[in-house]
Amino acid sequence: MRPVFFVLTFLGVMALCFWAYRENYATQAALRDMGRLQNEIASLREALALQRAEWAYLNRPERLRELATLNFDRLGLLPLEPVQFGAAAQVSYPAPMLLPGDDLFPDISNPVDVTGQFSTEPAPSPVDGQFP
C-alpha cells in the first residue's frame, strides 16, 4: 500500500509542477502583452498631445485674422471681432418638462364634461360677452 501511495504522491507533485510551469509562461506572456500595450498607449498619448499643441498653434486668433483678410475675395470671411460672439445668457434653452405633482403643473379644479349628447338646437349666442 505504501508504494502505491508514493507513486500517487509523485504523480500529484509532477502534475502540480506541470501546472505551475504552464502558469509561469502564461503569466510572462501576459506581462509582455501588457508592457507592449502600455508602450503603445504612451506613444498614442504623446501623439495626441502633439496634435493638440499643433491645433492650438494653428488656431491662434492673429493667424486666423490674417487668413481671413488674405482670402476675403475668395471666401468672403470677415475678420473676427468680439461683438460677433454672444453671451451665455442669450442662449435659449428648452422649457422644462412638467409632470403631475410638480408645483408648476396647473391644477384642474372644475373639469368640464365633453362627452355630452348632441343637440339639434342652435348654439347659444353670447350676450354682453357671456353665455346664458
**CB contact at 8 A, 79 and 69:** yes
More confident residue, 124 or 63: 63
More confident residue, 124 or 132: 124
What average pLDDT does the chain have? 82
Mean pLDDT of 84-109: 71
What whole-number distance in Å separates Cα of residue 70 and Cα of residue 64?
Answer: 10
pTM of this structure: 0.45
At residue 70 the predicted structure's pLDDT band, cuts being 50, 70 and 90, is confident
**CB contact at 8 A, 100 and 90:** no
Report which residue type is found at 56: A
